[in-house]
Structures are given as C-alpha cells and as structure tokens.
Amino acid sequence: MITLSGIIGSGKSSLTEILSKELGTKAYYEPVEDNPVLPIFYKGNEIAAKKRAAGEKDATNPYAYLLQTYFLNRRFAMIKEAMQNDNNILDRSIYEDEIFMKMNTEMGNATKVEYDIYKSLLNNMMEELPYAAHKKSPDLMITIKVSYETMIKRIIKRGRDYEQIEKDPSLVDYYHRLLSHYDDWMDEYDESPLLIIDGDKYDFVADVKDRMKILETIEDKLYDLGNLEQTKVDELRKAHLEILKQQ
C-alpha cells in the first residue's frame, strides 16, 4: 500500500492516477467536489480574520472543527478499506490529518478545547487501525514537496474559487503556514518509509521525461523495500524506453 501526501496543489491526485496505471493498482481518491463543509470553512476563515482585524481577538472559524472531523471520518474509512488488501494507492491519508487542526488552532480558527477533543479522537482511531485493517501502516509514504509559487500556480490552474488568494487574501498567510507545518511533518513522520519528491523540479504531469524519472525513483524505492520484484522493474524500464522513443 502506497499513500501520497503533500500540500494543496502539489499533485497528489495526479501522481496517484499515474502510479495506479503504471503499477496496475487500485486508486483511492479523497472526494473534494462533494464536500459540503469545505466551501463554508474557507468562508468562515475569511469572516474570522476580518473579525480579528476589527478587534475581536477570540473570533474563531465555527466550521474548523466540523471540517476536520469530517475529513478524519472520511480518511479513516478510506484507509480501513484500502488496508484490507494489498496493491493499492491513496491520494491522501490519515497520517497528515492533524496538521490542519493544529494549524487552525494556532491561527485562532479553532479553540484549544476543540483541538484537544479532535486529538483524542484521532489517537483512538489510530489505536484501532491495526485491528480494523490488514496491516499496521503503509508500505511507502510519498510526499510531494513544492514551493509556495508552484502551489499557487496549480491552485489557480484548477480554479476552485474558495482556494484563490485573490478572493481571500487571508489565504496567503494560511498557505505559508501550511507549507511550514508540512516541513515539520516530513521531519517527524516515522510510521513507514518516506520518499520525498521534488514537485518544483519535476513536472510529472506535463513532462514525460520527468514522469519517467519520478516513476523509476518510486519503483527503485519499492524494489529496495521488497515490494517490487526485479522482473517487474525490468518490464517497467523497457516500457519507459519505448514511451521515450515516441517523444
């Protein structure tokens, strides 16, 4: 089982789809378009920021806790299902979930009480996960690391209004904080082997050569971990050469 992680706009879903086709695995995607809370959460952030700017120091986003428990529930259900069998990929996992609630608490969008309740719920879920699933943790966590500039370009390209900094200037601070929290998370993550992909250097969506490079980096890691046989690696390398010849 492979799990993907990374900030908004880093390319998690795109790489999940690429890897799923490459390795013949089942892909699990976290639904965003049908999320009823996400749009109002962003609106709540904007309202809370304006209230604090007007002097209401304790103003919070009333939807922060709701959004995080919504995501936590969805991610727990998704990873439980994925962990029932081998040979699958998730475009997001429960392992990075706390980043968002922790950051929202630091920013004043959620209260300390809400964070403590959330953390207790998360810990209980993580304790139950090995009993509810086929394995204890992913075989490989892949993180796509991108800069603020790359993230913003991709957010603009995919066009969700509630993610745009032009619509909500408070998102500039939110996104920079999120990047910093992901840096800390990458340093601290120890649930499974971690592979960090440079999302600024390699455009694995638009550039075929970059895509082949990233795929081979991941496949080499899977081979080193004992999750991919040499015959499969050789087969994939041969296929890559044929693809590159056609470019």
| Residue 225 domain flag | no
Please give the pLDDT value at position 171: 87
- Assess whether 91 carries a catalytic annotation: yes
* Of the candidates 51, 43, 61, 153, the residue with the CA atom closest to the CA atom of residue 114: 61
157 marked as part of a ligand binding site: yes
**Residue 56: is its pLDDT beyond 90?**
no
- 217 within a domain of the structure (yes/no): no
Asked if residue 124 is part of any domain, the answer here is yes
Please indicate, yes or no, if residue 55 is contained in any of the structural domains.
Answer: yes
Confidence class of residue 202 from pLDDT cuts 50, 70 and 90?
very high
- In a domain? residue 17: yes
Q: Is 9 annotated as a binding residue?
A: yes
Residue type present at position 102: K
Instruction: Please check whether residue 209 lies inside any domain of the structure.
Output: no
The mean pLDDT value for 40-69 works out to 88
Can you say whether residue 9 is alpha, beta or left, with left for phi > 0 and alpha for psi between -120 and 50 degrees?
Answer: left
Residue 206 lies in a domain: no
State the residue range of the domain holding 193.
Answer: 2-201
Please indicate, yes or no, if residue 223 is contained in any of the structural domains. Answer: no
Q: Please give the tally of structural domains in the chain.
A: 1
Residue 132 has pLDDT above 90, yes or no: no
pLDDT > 70 fraction of the chain, expressed in percent and rounded:
100
Query: Annotation-wise, does 137 bind a ligand?
Result: no
Of 44, 66, 46, 48, the C-alpha closest to 58 is 48
**pTM, rounded to two decimals:** 0.89
Alpha-carbon distance of 85 to 127, in angstroms, equals 19
Q: What is the CATH number of the domain that holds 56?
A: 3.40.50.300
Is residue 91's pLDDT more than 80? yes
Q: pLDDT-derived band of residue 90, with 50, 70 and 90 as boundaries?
A: very high
User: Can you tell me the mean pLDDT for 142-155?
Assistant: 95
Q: Is the pLDDT of residue 52 over 90?
A: no
Question: What's residue 50's pLDDT?
Answer: 85
Binding site annotation covers 30?
A: yes
State residue 158's pLDDT score: 85
| Candidates 34, 58, 91, 161; catalytic one | 91
Q: Mind listing the pLDDT tens digit for each residue in 114-131?
A: 999 999 999 999 988 888
